[in-house]
Structure 1
Protein backbone atom coordinates (compact mmCIF):
# COMPACT_ATOMS: atom_id res chain seq x y z
CA UNK A 1 0.00 0.00 0.00
CA UNK A 2 1.28 3.46 -0.86
CA UNK A 3 2.30 5.55 2.15
CA UNK A 4 -0.10 8.35 3.10
CA UNK A 5 2.80 10.03 4.85
CA UNK A 6 6.14 10.43 3.12
CA UNK A 7 8.79 8.13 4.61
CA UNK A 8 11.52 10.17 6.26
CA UNK A 9 9.43 13.34 6.53
CA UNK A 10 8.29 14.84 9.82
CA UNK A 11 4.55 14.27 10.26
CA UNK A 12 2.80 17.39 11.58
CA UNK A 13 -0.89 16.91 10.84
CA UNK A 14 -2.94 20.12 10.88
CA UNK A 15 -6.25 18.23 10.66
CA UNK A 16 -8.94 19.74 8.42
CA UNK A 17 -8.59 16.92 5.88
CA UNK A 18 -10.96 16.52 2.94
CA UNK A 19 -11.11 14.12 -0.01
CA UNK A 20 -9.97 14.93 -3.52
CA UNK A 21 -12.35 14.78 -6.50
CA UNK A 22 -10.56 12.10 -8.54
CA UNK A 23 -9.06 12.40 -11.98
CA UNK A 24 -5.47 12.63 -13.24
CA UNK A 25 -2.91 12.58 -10.42
CA UNK A 26 -1.09 15.87 -9.98
CA UNK A 27 1.73 17.49 -8.04
CA UNK A 28 1.99 21.27 -7.66
CA UNK A 29 5.35 23.02 -7.33
CA UNK A 30 5.54 26.19 -5.22
CA UNK A 31 8.24 28.30 -3.60
CA UNK A 32 7.62 30.10 -0.31
CA UNK A 33 8.86 33.49 -1.65
CA UNK A 34 8.92 35.07 1.80
CA UNK A 35 11.07 38.06 0.84
CA UNK A 36 11.61 40.19 -2.26
CA UNK A 37 15.35 40.20 -2.83
CA UNK A 38 17.35 41.31 -5.86
CA UNK A 39 20.74 40.52 -7.35
CA UNK A 40 22.15 43.73 -5.89
CA UNK A 41 20.29 43.32 -2.60
CA UNK A 42 20.15 39.63 -1.64
CA UNK A 43 18.54 38.65 1.65
CA UNK A 44 19.03 35.81 4.12
CA UNK A 45 16.71 32.84 3.65
CA UNK A 46 13.85 32.66 6.14
CA UNK A 47 14.57 29.86 8.67
CA UNK A 48 12.93 26.52 8.00
CA UNK A 49 11.65 26.42 11.59
CA UNK A 50 9.74 29.67 11.02
CA UNK A 51 7.83 28.28 8.03
CA UNK A 52 7.25 24.98 9.81
CA UNK A 53 5.63 26.87 12.68
CA UNK A 54 3.68 29.13 10.30
CA UNK A 55 2.06 26.27 8.36
CA UNK A 56 1.83 23.88 11.29
CA UNK A 57 0.69 26.07 14.19
CA UNK A 58 -0.39 29.51 12.97
CA UNK A 59 -4.08 29.82 12.05
CA UNK A 60 -3.32 31.92 8.97
CA UNK A 61 -0.64 29.46 7.87
CA UNK A 62 -2.81 26.38 8.38
CA UNK A 63 -5.41 27.99 6.10
CA UNK A 64 -2.94 27.90 3.19
CA UNK A 65 -0.84 24.88 4.17
CA UNK A 66 0.60 22.54 1.51
CA UNK A 67 1.18 18.83 1.85
CA UNK A 68 4.94 19.28 2.16
CA UNK A 69 7.37 22.00 3.19
CA UNK A 70 10.78 21.15 1.72
CA UNK A 71 14.12 22.71 2.56
CA UNK A 72 16.31 22.12 -0.52
CA UNK A 73 19.43 23.18 1.39
CA UNK A 74 19.19 20.55 4.15
CA UNK A 75 16.73 18.00 2.74
CA UNK A 76 14.32 18.47 5.65
CA UNK A 77 10.66 17.81 4.85
CA UNK A 78 7.60 18.28 7.04
CA UNK A 79 4.15 17.01 5.96
CA UNK A 80 0.89 18.67 7.06
CA UNK A 81 -1.76 16.64 5.16
CA UNK A 82 -1.89 12.98 4.11
CA UNK A 83 -1.51 12.36 0.39
CA UNK A 84 -5.17 11.43 -0.14
CA UNK A 85 -6.44 14.70 1.34
CA UNK A 86 -6.59 18.03 -0.42
CA UNK A 87 -4.27 20.69 0.94
CA UNK A 88 -4.87 24.44 0.80
CA UNK A 89 -2.06 26.26 -1.02
CA UNK A 90 -4.04 27.09 -4.18
CA UNK A 91 -6.64 29.78 -4.68
CA UNK A 92 -9.98 28.07 -5.27
CA UNK A 93 -12.62 30.46 -6.62
CA UNK A 94 -16.30 29.68 -6.41
CA UNK A 95 -17.41 27.58 -9.37
CA UNK A 96 -15.08 26.08 -11.96
CA UNK A 97 -12.37 23.58 -11.09
CA UNK A 98 -11.77 22.82 -7.42
CA UNK A 99 -8.06 23.45 -7.70
CA UNK A 100 -6.93 21.86 -4.46
CA UNK A 101 -8.98 18.73 -5.17
CA UNK A 102 -8.72 18.32 -8.96
CA UNK A 103 -7.15 14.85 -9.16
CA UNK A 104 -6.90 11.46 -7.52
CA UNK A 105 -4.17 13.26 -5.57
CA UNK A 106 -3.09 16.90 -5.79
CA UNK A 107 0.16 16.84 -3.82
CA UNK A 108 1.42 20.34 -3.14
CA UNK A 109 5.04 21.10 -2.29
CA UNK A 110 6.36 24.40 -0.95
CA UNK A 111 10.11 24.68 -1.49
CA UNK A 112 11.74 26.97 1.05
CA UNK A 113 13.20 29.48 -1.40
CA UNK A 114 12.99 32.93 -2.92
CA UNK A 115 15.13 34.38 -5.75
CA UNK A 116 18.42 35.94 -4.63
CA UNK A 117 18.28 34.34 -1.20
CA UNK A 118 21.50 34.03 0.77
CA UNK A 119 22.46 30.82 2.58
CA UNK A 120 25.82 30.33 4.25
CA UNK A 121 27.16 33.43 2.54
CA UNK A 122 26.23 32.20 -0.96
CA UNK A 123 23.47 33.76 -3.06
CA UNK A 124 21.08 31.63 -5.12
CA UNK A 125 19.15 33.00 -8.08
CA UNK A 126 16.93 29.99 -8.79
CA UNK A 127 15.73 26.87 -7.01
CA UNK A 128 17.70 24.70 -9.44
CA UNK A 129 20.90 26.40 -8.24
CA UNK A 130 20.38 25.04 -4.71
CA UNK A 131 21.68 21.62 -3.59
CA UNK A 132 18.09 20.26 -3.96
CA UNK A 133 18.80 17.83 -1.12
CA UNK A 134 15.98 15.35 -0.56
CA UNK A 135 14.49 15.83 -4.03
CA UNK A 136 15.03 12.23 -5.16
CA UNK A 137 13.26 10.80 -2.09
CA UNK A 138 10.41 13.28 -2.32
CA UNK A 139 9.95 12.67 -6.03
CA UNK A 140 9.86 8.89 -5.46
CA UNK A 141 7.06 9.28 -2.91
CA UNK A 142 5.04 11.56 -5.21
CA UNK A 143 5.55 9.14 -8.11
CA UNK A 144 4.29 6.28 -5.92
CA UNK A 145 0.90 8.03 -5.97
CA UNK A 146 0.70 7.78 -9.75
CA UNK A 147 1.91 11.27 -10.64
CA UNK A 148 3.67 10.93 -14.02
CA UNK A 149 7.09 12.43 -14.72
CA UNK A 150 5.69 15.10 -17.04
CA UNK A 151 5.02 18.83 -17.08
CA UNK A 152 1.82 19.09 -19.17
CA UNK A 153 2.25 22.87 -19.50
CA UNK A 154 6.04 22.79 -19.73
CA UNK A 155 8.78 22.62 -17.11
CA UNK A 156 9.05 26.04 -15.45
CA UNK A 157 12.08 28.05 -16.52
CA UNK A 158 11.04 31.58 -15.51
CA UNK A 159 8.48 33.51 -13.49
CA UNK A 160 5.75 33.56 -16.11
CA UNK A 161 2.16 32.32 -16.08
CA UNK A 162 0.84 29.83 -18.62
CA UNK A 163 -2.60 28.42 -17.82
CA UNK A 164 -4.86 26.06 -19.74
CA UNK A 165 -7.90 24.76 -17.92
CA UNK A 166 -8.50 22.00 -20.48
CA UNK A 167 -4.94 20.68 -19.99
CA UNK A 168 -5.35 20.95 -16.22
CA UNK A 169 -8.54 18.91 -16.32
CA UNK A 170 -7.27 16.15 -18.64
CA UNK A 171 -3.59 15.53 -17.90
CA UNK A 172 -1.75 14.24 -14.88
CA UNK A 173 1.75 15.27 -13.98
CA UNK A 174 3.62 18.15 -12.41
CA UNK A 175 2.28 21.69 -12.56
CA UNK A 176 3.87 24.94 -11.51
CA UNK A 177 1.75 27.22 -9.35
CA UNK A 178 1.96 29.44 -12.44
CA UNK A 179 0.03 26.80 -14.43
CA UNK A 180 -3.00 26.40 -12.16
CA UNK A 181 -6.33 27.93 -13.25
CA UNK A 182 -7.81 30.65 -11.03
CA UNK A 183 -4.35 31.41 -9.60
CA UNK A 184 -2.18 34.44 -10.37
CA UNK A 185 1.17 33.46 -8.86
CA UNK A 186 4.10 32.93 -11.23
CA UNK A 187 6.24 30.66 -9.05
CA UNK A 188 8.30 28.50 -8.74
CA UNK A 189 10.46 29.95 -11.58
CA UNK A 190 12.45 26.69 -11.90
CA UNK A 191 12.26 23.20 -10.46
CA UNK A 192 14.77 20.31 -10.32
CA UNK A 193 14.73 17.76 -13.12
CA UNK A 194 13.24 14.33 -12.59
CA UNK A 195 15.81 11.79 -11.38
CA UNK A 196 17.21 9.56 -14.11
CA UNK A 197 15.68 6.11 -13.81
CA UNK A 198 18.23 3.39 -13.27
CA UNK A 199 17.80 0.31 -15.45
CA UNK A 200 16.47 -2.69 -13.58
CA UNK A 201 18.23 -6.04 -13.55
CA UNK A 202 21.85 -6.81 -14.38
CA UNK A 203 23.66 -4.73 -17.04
CA UNK A 204 23.42 -5.97 -20.61
CA UNK A 205 26.29 -8.18 -21.68
CA UNK A 206 28.84 -6.73 -24.08
CA UNK A 207 30.24 -8.84 -26.92
CA UNK A 208 33.39 -8.61 -29.02
CA UNK A 209 32.88 -6.96 -32.39
CA UNK A 210 33.94 -8.88 -35.50
CA UNK A 211 37.65 -8.07 -35.94
CA UNK A 212 37.74 -8.90 -39.67
CA UNK A 213 38.49 -12.18 -41.43
CA UNK A 214 42.21 -11.47 -41.75
CA UNK A 215 42.51 -11.25 -37.97
CA UNK A 216 41.91 -15.01 -37.65
CA UNK A 217 45.42 -16.12 -38.69
CA UNK A 218 46.93 -19.29 -37.24
CA UNK A 219 49.27 -18.44 -34.39
CA UNK A 220 47.36 -15.27 -33.40
CA UNK A 221 47.58 -14.93 -29.61
CA UNK A 222 44.88 -12.95 -27.81
CA UNK A 223 42.49 -13.17 -24.85
CA UNK A 224 39.71 -13.00 -27.45
CA UNK A 225 40.86 -16.37 -28.80
CA UNK A 226 40.60 -17.86 -25.32
CA UNK A 227 37.05 -16.55 -24.89
CA UNK A 228 36.13 -17.82 -28.39
CA UNK A 229 37.45 -21.24 -27.32
CA UNK A 230 35.19 -21.19 -24.24
CA UNK A 231 32.14 -20.18 -26.24
CA UNK A 232 32.68 -22.91 -28.84
CA UNK A 233 32.84 -25.46 -26.05
CA UNK A 234 29.74 -23.95 -24.40
CA UNK A 235 27.64 -24.24 -27.59
CA UNK A 236 28.54 -27.91 -28.06
CA UNK A 237 31.12 -27.54 -30.82
CA UNK A 238 34.18 -28.77 -28.97
CA UNK A 239 36.64 -30.26 -31.42
CA UNK A 240 39.66 -29.45 -29.29
CA UNK A 241 42.12 -32.17 -28.28
CA UNK A 242 43.64 -29.99 -25.56
CA UNK A 243 43.05 -26.73 -23.67
CA UNK A 244 46.74 -25.92 -23.60
CA UNK A 245 47.53 -22.63 -25.33
CA UNK A 246 43.86 -21.85 -25.79
CA UNK A 247 44.63 -18.15 -26.28
CA UNK A 248 46.42 -18.97 -29.54
CA UNK A 249 44.62 -19.85 -32.78
CA UNK A 250 45.32 -23.42 -33.81
CA UNK A 251 43.81 -26.43 -35.55
CA UNK A 252 41.35 -27.05 -32.71
CA UNK A 253 39.87 -23.56 -33.16
CA UNK A 254 39.47 -24.13 -36.88
CA UNK A 255 37.75 -27.49 -36.45
CA UNK A 256 35.52 -26.24 -33.66
CA UNK A 257 34.52 -23.06 -35.45
CA UNK A 258 33.72 -24.91 -38.67
CA UNK A 259 31.51 -27.26 -36.61
CA UNK A 260 29.75 -24.19 -35.19
CA UNK A 261 29.15 -22.77 -38.67
CA UNK A 262 27.68 -26.09 -39.80
CA UNK A 263 25.46 -26.03 -36.71
CA UNK A 264 24.18 -22.62 -37.88
CA UNK A 265 23.24 -24.19 -41.23
CA UNK A 266 26.15 -23.07 -43.36
CA UNK A 267 27.39 -25.55 -45.98
CA UNK A 268 30.26 -25.88 -48.41
CA UNK A 269 32.78 -23.04 -48.49
CA UNK A 270 30.47 -20.88 -46.33
CA UNK A 271 31.08 -23.27 -43.44
CA UNK A 272 34.86 -23.10 -43.74
CA UNK A 273 37.36 -21.10 -41.71
CA UNK A 274 37.84 -18.15 -41.22
CA UNK A 275 34.80 -16.83 -39.32
CA UNK A 276 32.46 -14.38 -40.96
CA UNK A 277 30.62 -11.47 -39.31
CA UNK A 278 27.25 -13.27 -39.08
CA UNK A 279 28.52 -16.42 -37.38
CA UNK A 280 30.77 -14.35 -35.10
CA UNK A 281 27.80 -12.29 -33.97
CA UNK A 282 25.85 -15.49 -33.30
CA UNK A 283 28.68 -16.94 -31.19
CA UNK A 284 28.46 -13.98 -28.72
CA UNK A 285 32.04 -13.90 -27.55
CA UNK A 286 32.00 -11.77 -24.37
CA UNK A 287 34.25 -8.77 -23.96
CA UNK A 288 36.96 -9.09 -21.36
Structure 2
Protein backbone atom coordinates (compact mmCIF):
# COMPACT_ATOMS: atom_id res chain seq x y z
CA UNK A 1 0.00 0.00 0.00
CA UNK A 2 1.41 3.38 -1.01
CA UNK A 3 1.89 6.11 1.58
CA UNK A 4 -0.09 9.28 0.98
CA UNK A 5 2.38 12.15 0.97
CA UNK A 6 0.29 15.25 0.29
CA UNK A 7 -3.09 16.84 1.04
CA UNK A 8 -5.91 14.63 -0.16
CA UNK A 9 -8.52 17.38 -0.68
CA UNK A 10 -8.18 20.21 -3.15
CA UNK A 11 -8.67 23.47 -1.20
CA UNK A 12 -12.14 24.93 -1.69
CA UNK A 13 -13.60 21.82 -3.32
CA UNK A 14 -17.05 20.56 -2.35
CA UNK A 15 -17.76 17.05 -1.10
CA UNK A 16 -21.45 17.29 -1.86
CA UNK A 17 -20.98 14.52 -4.44
CA UNK A 18 -18.59 12.23 -2.56
CA UNK A 19 -18.42 8.63 -3.86
CA UNK A 20 -15.41 7.07 -2.15
CA UNK A 21 -17.51 5.57 0.65
CA UNK A 22 -19.61 3.64 -1.87
CA UNK A 23 -16.79 2.84 -4.30
CA UNK A 24 -13.56 2.44 -2.30
CA UNK A 25 -10.57 2.75 -4.61
CA UNK A 26 -6.97 1.63 -4.41
CA UNK A 27 -4.35 3.77 -2.64
CA UNK A 28 -1.62 5.10 -4.93
CA UNK A 29 1.21 7.61 -5.11
CA UNK A 30 -0.03 10.03 -7.79
CA UNK A 31 2.34 11.19 -10.52
CA UNK A 32 -0.15 11.66 -13.39
CA UNK A 33 -3.17 13.91 -13.96
CA UNK A 34 -5.62 12.95 -16.72
CA UNK A 35 -7.91 15.67 -18.08
CA UNK A 36 -11.38 14.74 -19.37
CA UNK A 37 -14.30 16.78 -20.69
CA UNK A 38 -17.81 15.74 -19.66
CA UNK A 39 -19.44 16.46 -23.03
CA UNK A 40 -22.34 17.79 -20.99
CA UNK A 41 -23.14 21.28 -19.68
CA UNK A 42 -23.56 20.47 -15.98
CA UNK A 43 -22.19 18.31 -13.17
CA UNK A 44 -22.80 14.66 -14.17
CA UNK A 45 -24.34 12.07 -11.88
CA UNK A 46 -21.70 9.49 -12.89
CA UNK A 47 -24.17 6.66 -12.35
CA UNK A 48 -24.12 7.29 -8.64
CA UNK A 49 -20.34 7.34 -8.66
CA UNK A 50 -19.62 4.21 -10.66
CA UNK A 51 -17.87 6.17 -13.41
CA UNK A 52 -16.67 9.21 -11.45
CA UNK A 53 -13.27 10.92 -11.58
CA UNK A 54 -11.40 12.28 -8.57
CA UNK A 55 -12.67 15.81 -9.20
CA UNK A 56 -15.03 17.73 -11.47
CA UNK A 57 -14.56 21.39 -12.41
CA UNK A 58 -17.88 23.16 -13.07
CA UNK A 59 -17.84 26.60 -14.77
CA UNK A 60 -19.46 29.40 -12.79
CA UNK A 61 -20.13 31.92 -15.54
CA UNK A 62 -21.41 34.62 -13.20
CA UNK A 63 -18.31 34.56 -10.98
CA UNK A 64 -15.99 33.65 -13.88
CA UNK A 65 -14.32 30.81 -12.06
CA UNK A 66 -14.36 27.03 -11.77
CA UNK A 67 -16.23 25.40 -8.88
CA UNK A 68 -14.60 22.16 -7.83
CA UNK A 69 -16.34 19.01 -6.63
CA UNK A 70 -14.23 16.21 -5.17
CA UNK A 71 -15.47 12.64 -5.43
CA UNK A 72 -12.40 10.65 -4.33
CA UNK A 73 -9.23 11.52 -2.43
CA UNK A 74 -6.36 12.71 -4.62
CA UNK A 75 -4.40 9.50 -4.08
CA UNK A 76 -7.28 7.03 -4.33
CA UNK A 77 -8.07 5.51 -7.73
CA UNK A 78 -11.25 6.75 -9.40
CA UNK A 79 -13.35 5.24 -12.18
CA UNK A 80 -13.55 7.44 -15.28
CA UNK A 81 -11.21 5.46 -17.54
CA UNK A 82 -11.85 2.19 -19.30
CA UNK A 83 -9.74 -0.44 -17.55
CA UNK A 84 -9.90 -3.80 -19.31
CA UNK A 85 -9.40 -6.97 -17.34
CA UNK A 86 -5.97 -8.40 -17.97
CA UNK A 87 -4.75 -5.30 -19.81
CA UNK A 88 -2.69 -2.33 -18.71
CA UNK A 89 -3.71 -0.52 -15.54
CA UNK A 90 -5.40 2.80 -16.22
CA UNK A 91 -7.60 3.96 -13.32
CA UNK A 92 -5.22 2.51 -10.74
CA UNK A 93 -1.85 3.48 -12.24
CA UNK A 94 -1.06 6.51 -10.05
CA UNK A 95 -3.62 8.67 -11.84
CA UNK A 96 -5.68 11.58 -10.51
CA UNK A 97 -8.56 12.22 -12.92
CA UNK A 98 -10.28 15.54 -13.54
CA UNK A 99 -13.48 16.10 -15.53
CA UNK A 100 -13.95 19.57 -17.03
CA UNK A 101 -17.64 20.32 -17.54
CA UNK A 102 -18.27 21.36 -21.15
CA UNK A 103 -17.38 19.97 -24.55
CA UNK A 104 -14.45 19.51 -26.89
CA UNK A 105 -16.69 18.64 -29.86
CA UNK A 106 -17.15 21.51 -32.37
CA UNK A 107 -20.45 19.99 -33.50
CA UNK A 108 -21.82 19.95 -29.94
CA UNK A 109 -20.48 23.47 -29.42
CA UNK A 110 -22.44 24.77 -32.42
CA UNK A 111 -25.57 22.91 -31.32
CA UNK A 112 -25.45 24.36 -27.81
CA UNK A 113 -24.69 27.83 -29.13
CA UNK A 114 -27.73 27.68 -31.39
CA UNK A 115 -29.91 26.52 -28.48
CA UNK A 116 -28.60 29.29 -26.20
CA UNK A 117 -27.02 26.75 -23.85
CA UNK A 118 -24.25 28.46 -21.92
CA UNK A 119 -21.15 26.28 -21.86
CA UNK A 120 -17.37 26.09 -22.16
CA UNK A 121 -16.01 24.90 -25.48
CA UNK A 122 -12.65 23.84 -24.10
CA UNK A 123 -10.58 24.37 -27.27
CA UNK A 124 -11.65 28.03 -27.01
CA UNK A 125 -11.99 28.24 -23.23
CA UNK A 126 -12.04 31.70 -21.62
CA UNK A 127 -8.98 32.82 -19.70
CA UNK A 128 -10.61 32.33 -16.29
CA UNK A 129 -11.37 28.69 -17.10
CA UNK A 130 -7.81 28.01 -18.26
CA UNK A 131 -6.54 29.76 -15.15
CA UNK A 132 -8.69 27.52 -12.95
CA UNK A 133 -7.21 24.37 -14.50
CA UNK A 134 -3.71 25.84 -14.26
CA UNK A 135 -4.09 26.57 -10.55
CA UNK A 136 -5.13 22.99 -9.90
CA UNK A 137 -2.12 21.68 -11.81
CA UNK A 138 0.25 24.02 -9.98
CA UNK A 139 -1.21 22.72 -6.69
CA UNK A 140 -0.72 19.12 -7.85
CA UNK A 141 2.87 19.93 -8.78
CA UNK A 142 3.56 21.65 -5.48
CA UNK A 143 1.81 19.19 -3.18
CA UNK A 144 2.17 15.88 -5.05
CA UNK A 145 5.12 16.43 -7.36
CA UNK A 146 3.20 15.86 -10.61
CA UNK A 147 5.50 17.19 -13.38
CA UNK A 148 4.21 20.14 -15.37
CA UNK A 149 4.89 18.38 -18.66
CA UNK A 150 2.83 16.30 -21.05
CA UNK A 151 2.30 15.11 -24.62
CA UNK A 152 2.95 17.53 -27.47
CA UNK A 153 0.05 16.27 -29.57
CA UNK A 154 -3.44 17.42 -28.51
CA UNK A 155 -5.47 16.91 -31.72
CA UNK A 156 -8.93 18.36 -32.19
CA UNK A 157 -12.02 16.23 -31.82
CA UNK A 158 -13.21 14.13 -33.69
CA UNK A 159 -9.73 13.38 -35.09
CA UNK A 160 -8.62 12.66 -31.53
CA UNK A 161 -11.15 9.83 -31.16
CA UNK A 162 -9.63 6.36 -31.10
CA UNK A 163 -6.06 6.90 -32.21
CA UNK A 164 -6.83 9.03 -35.24
CA UNK A 165 -3.75 11.23 -34.87
CA UNK A 166 -1.52 8.53 -33.33
CA UNK A 167 -1.57 10.45 -30.05
CA UNK A 168 -2.49 7.53 -27.79
CA UNK A 169 0.32 6.08 -25.68
CA UNK A 170 1.44 2.49 -25.93
CA UNK A 171 1.16 0.37 -22.80
CA UNK A 172 4.91 0.67 -22.29
CA UNK A 173 4.96 4.45 -22.63
CA UNK A 174 1.91 4.79 -20.38
CA UNK A 175 3.62 2.74 -17.66
CA UNK A 176 6.56 5.17 -17.63
CA UNK A 177 4.61 8.40 -18.08
CA UNK A 178 4.58 11.11 -15.42
CA UNK A 179 2.88 14.47 -15.96
CA UNK A 180 -0.41 15.71 -17.40
CA UNK A 181 -2.27 14.16 -20.32
CA UNK A 182 -5.77 13.83 -21.75
CA UNK A 183 -8.24 10.96 -21.96
CA UNK A 184 -7.22 10.82 -25.63
CA UNK A 185 -3.70 9.74 -24.65
CA UNK A 186 -4.59 6.79 -22.37
CA UNK A 187 -4.27 3.23 -23.74
CA UNK A 188 -7.27 0.86 -23.73
CA UNK A 189 -9.53 3.92 -24.21
CA UNK A 190 -11.02 5.38 -27.39
CA UNK A 191 -12.46 8.72 -26.15
CA UNK A 192 -11.05 11.86 -27.76
CA UNK A 193 -11.45 14.36 -24.93
CA UNK A 194 -10.36 17.00 -24.10
CA UNK A 195 -9.53 17.62 -27.77
CA UNK A 196 -7.55 20.67 -28.80
CA UNK A 197 -7.48 22.29 -25.36
CA UNK A 198 -4.74 24.93 -25.12
CA UNK A 199 -2.41 22.73 -23.10
CA UNK A 200 0.64 24.94 -23.67
CA UNK A 201 -1.18 27.96 -22.24
CA UNK A 202 -2.41 25.98 -19.24
CA UNK A 203 1.13 24.84 -18.46
CA UNK A 204 2.46 28.37 -18.93
CA UNK A 205 -0.04 29.69 -16.40
CA UNK A 206 0.64 26.84 -13.96
CA UNK A 207 4.38 27.49 -14.08
CA UNK A 208 3.86 31.23 -13.73
CA UNK A 209 1.73 30.58 -10.65
CA UNK A 210 4.71 28.81 -9.09
CA UNK A 211 7.30 31.27 -10.47
CA UNK A 212 8.92 28.43 -12.41
CA UNK A 213 9.26 30.74 -15.39
CA UNK A 214 11.19 33.88 -14.63
CA UNK A 215 9.86 37.22 -15.95
CA UNK A 216 11.99 38.79 -18.66
CA UNK A 217 14.53 41.39 -17.60
CA UNK A 218 13.88 45.04 -18.28
CA UNK A 219 16.34 45.83 -21.07
CA UNK A 220 15.42 49.49 -21.50
CA UNK A 221 18.68 51.43 -22.12
CA UNK A 222 19.92 53.12 -18.99
CA UNK A 223 17.72 51.07 -16.65
CA UNK A 224 18.83 48.12 -14.51
CA UNK A 225 17.55 44.63 -15.30
CA UNK A 226 14.43 43.47 -13.48
CA UNK A 227 15.47 41.38 -10.43
CA UNK A 228 14.61 37.71 -10.67
CA UNK A 229 12.37 36.09 -8.10
CA UNK A 230 13.76 32.73 -6.95
CA UNK A 231 11.47 29.84 -7.86
CA UNK A 232 9.23 28.67 -5.02
CA UNK A 233 10.65 25.29 -3.97
CA UNK A 234 7.40 23.79 -2.60
CA UNK A 235 5.60 23.63 0.73
CA UNK A 236 7.35 20.43 1.78
CA UNK A 237 10.49 22.46 2.59
CA UNK A 238 8.63 24.50 5.23
CA UNK A 239 7.15 21.89 7.54
CA UNK A 240 7.96 20.69 11.05
CA UNK A 241 11.34 18.99 11.08
CA UNK A 242 12.45 20.47 7.75
CA UNK A 243 16.16 21.36 7.52
CA UNK A 244 17.32 22.94 4.27
CA UNK A 245 18.80 26.01 2.63
CA UNK A 246 15.36 27.21 1.48
CA UNK A 247 14.41 27.84 5.11
CA UNK A 248 17.56 29.92 5.58
CA UNK A 249 16.90 31.90 2.39
CA UNK A 250 13.34 32.57 3.54
CA UNK A 251 14.52 33.70 6.97
CA UNK A 252 17.12 36.08 5.58
CA UNK A 253 14.52 37.65 3.29
CA UNK A 254 12.09 38.05 6.19
CA UNK A 255 14.77 39.88 8.19
CA UNK A 256 15.63 42.02 5.16
CA UNK A 257 11.97 43.00 4.80
CA UNK A 258 11.65 43.80 8.52
CA UNK A 259 9.76 40.68 9.62
CA UNK A 260 12.35 38.96 11.83
CA UNK A 261 11.06 39.95 15.27
CA UNK A 262 10.53 36.38 16.46
CA UNK A 263 14.12 35.26 15.83
CA UNK A 264 16.15 35.25 19.06
CA UNK A 265 19.50 35.00 17.28
CA UNK A 266 18.78 34.90 13.58
CA UNK A 267 17.37 32.65 10.87
CA UNK A 268 18.75 29.17 10.39
CA UNK A 269 18.28 26.08 8.22
CA UNK A 270 15.85 24.44 10.67
CA UNK A 271 12.18 25.33 10.20
CA UNK A 272 10.97 26.66 13.53
CA UNK A 273 8.01 28.30 15.22
CA UNK A 274 9.87 31.61 14.88
CA UNK A 275 9.92 31.15 11.10
CA UNK A 276 6.19 30.45 11.09
CA UNK A 277 5.38 33.49 13.21
CA UNK A 278 7.53 35.78 11.07
CA UNK A 279 5.88 34.46 7.89
CA UNK A 280 2.48 34.99 9.49
CA UNK A 281 3.36 38.60 10.34
CA UNK A 282 4.36 39.19 6.72
CA UNK A 283 1.16 37.56 5.46
CA UNK A 284 -0.98 39.72 7.77
CA UNK A 285 0.74 42.80 6.36
CA UNK A 286 -0.46 42.04 2.82
CA UNK A 287 -4.15 42.29 1.87
CA UNK A 288 -3.69 39.51 -0.68
CA UNK A 289 -2.65 37.09 2.08
CA UNK A 290 -4.63 38.08 5.17
CA UNK A 291 -7.34 35.50 4.54
CA UNK A 292 -4.78 32.69 4.67
CA UNK A 293 -2.23 33.96 7.21
CA UNK A 294 -1.26 30.57 8.63
CA UNK A 295 2.51 31.19 8.69
CA UNK A 296 3.34 28.61 6.04
CA UNK A 297 4.61 30.07 2.75
CA UNK A 298 2.92 29.24 -0.52
CA UNK A 299 3.66 30.46 -4.05
CA UNK A 300 1.98 33.86 -3.57
CA UNK A 301 3.62 34.49 -0.17
CA UNK A 302 7.00 33.62 -1.68
CA UNK A 303 6.44 35.82 -4.71
CA UNK A 304 5.37 38.86 -2.68
CA UNK A 305 8.14 38.39 -0.13
CA UNK A 306 10.88 38.29 -2.76
CA UNK A 307 9.37 40.91 -5.11
TM-score for both structures, normalised by structure 2: 0.53
Q: Is 1:90–1:100's contact at 8 Å kept on the other side of the alignment?
A: yes
User: Would the alpha carbon gap of residues 146 and 155 (structure 1) be closer, same or farther in structure 2, given more than 3 Å must change?
Assistant: farther
Aligned to 2:42: 47
- The alpha-carbon distance between structure 1 residues 121 and 27, as it changes in their structure 2 partners (threshold 3 A), is same
Question: Counterparts of 2:186 and 2:96 in 1: how far apart (Å)?
Answer: 13
1:86-165 correspondence runs (5 A) = 86-103=77-94, 106-114=95-103, 115=105, 116=109, 117-118=112-113, 121=116, 126-131=121-126, 132=129, 134-143=132-141, 144-152=143-151, 154-159=152-157, 160=160, 161=163, 162-163=167-168, 164-165=170-171
Q: CA deviation at 1:203?
A: 7.9
Worse-matched range after superposition: 111-120 or 132-141: 111-120
Structure 2 CA distance, aligned partners of 1:125 and 1:204? Answer: 32
Decide whether aligned partners of structure 1 residues 127 and 63 sit closer, same or farther in structure 2, where only a CA change above 3 A counts: same
Asked if 1:71 is matched to 2:76, the reply is no
2:74 is aligned to 83
Tell me: CA distance 1:136–1:176, structure 2 relative to 1, closer, same or farther (3 Å): closer
Write the mapping of 1:254-265 to structure 2, written as runs, cut at 5 A: none
Which consecutive aligned stretches of 4+ in structure 1 deviate over 3 angstroms post-superposition? Answer: 117-126, 202-210
Give, in whole Å, the separation in 2 of the partners of 1:120 and 1:134: 26
CA displacement at 1:126 relative to structure 2:
3.7
Tell me the equivalent position of 2:177: 171
- Max radius of gyration: which structure? 1
For 1:30 and 1:204, how far apart are their aligned partners in 2? 34
The range that moved more, 136-145 or 109-118, is 136-145
| Equivalent residue, structure 1, for 2:273 | none
Is 1:186 the counterpart of 2:197? The answer is: no
Question: What SS is found at the alignment partner of 1:75?
Answer: strand
Q: Say which SS state the counterpart of residue 135 (structure 2) adopts.
A: helix
Q: Work out which structure has the larger RCO, using CA pairs closer than 8 Å and 6 or more positions apart in sequence.
A: 1
Q: Hey, what's the Cα distance between the residues in 1 that align with 2:114 and 2:136? A: 22
The answer to whether the Cα contact below 8 Å between 1:20 and 1:102 also exists between their aligned partners in 2 is: no
Alignment root-mean-square deviation, CA: 3.4
**Is contact 2:122–2:197 with CA below 8 Å preserved after alignment?**
yes
Change in 2 beyond 3 A, CA 1:21/1:84: closer
Is 1:6 the counterpart of 2:10 in the alignment? yes
When the two structures are superposed, what TM-score results if normalisation uses the length of structure 1? 0.56
Q: Cα deviation per residue 1:39-72 (whole Å; 9 max; x = unaligned)?
A: xxxxxxx334xx2xx13xxxx2411000111124
Cα 1:145–1:182 change in 2 (3 A) is: same
Q: C-alpha separation between the residues in 2 aligned to 1:207 and 1:98?
A: 51
List gaps (5 residues or longer) in structure 1: 35-45, 211-222, 225-288
CA–CA distance in structure 2, aligned partners of residues 93 and 21 of structure 1: 19
In the TM superposition, what whole-angstrom CA distance separates every residue of 1:61-119 from its partner, at most 9, and x where no partner exists?
A: 4110001111244411101000110000001101122210112xx11011111230439
